[in-house]
Amino acid sequence: MDLVGVAEIRAMLGNVSRQRASVIANQRNFPEPVAVLAMGKVWRKSDVEAWLEKHRPETSTS
C-alpha cells in the first residue's frame, strides 16, 4: 500500500503551498486518512488519486 502525507499531496496538486494542501486535505469530501502519526496524517495514494480525478482533473497525476 502506497501512503502519502501532506508533502506528497502538495506535489500531486501541482506544488501548492503546504498551507493550501492542508486546507484541501481537511475538506469534508477529501478521503479519510488511514492513520494519524506524530508527523501528521497519512492517506492511501490511490484514495488521493481518485479524489483528484473527480475534484481536480486539471491536476490529476494519472
What is the pLDDT averaged over residues 8-18?
96
**Average pLDDT score, the chain:** 92
Q: Measured in whole angstroms, how far is the alpha carbon of residue 54 from the centre of its chain?
A: 13
Between 35 and 58, residue with greater pLDDT: 35
37-55 pLDDT tens trace? 999 999 999 999 999 999 9
- What's the predicted TM-score (pTM) here? 0.85
Q: How is 1-49 classified by DSSP, letter by letter?
A: --EE-HHHHHHHTTS--HHHHHHHHTSTTSPPPSEEETTEEEEEHHHHH
pLDDT at 16 over 90: yes
Question: How far is residue 41's CA from residue 32's CA, in Å, rounded to a whole number?
Answer: 9
Percentage of residues in the chain with pLDDT exceeding 90? 87
Task: Provide the grid cell at 33.
Answer: 486518512
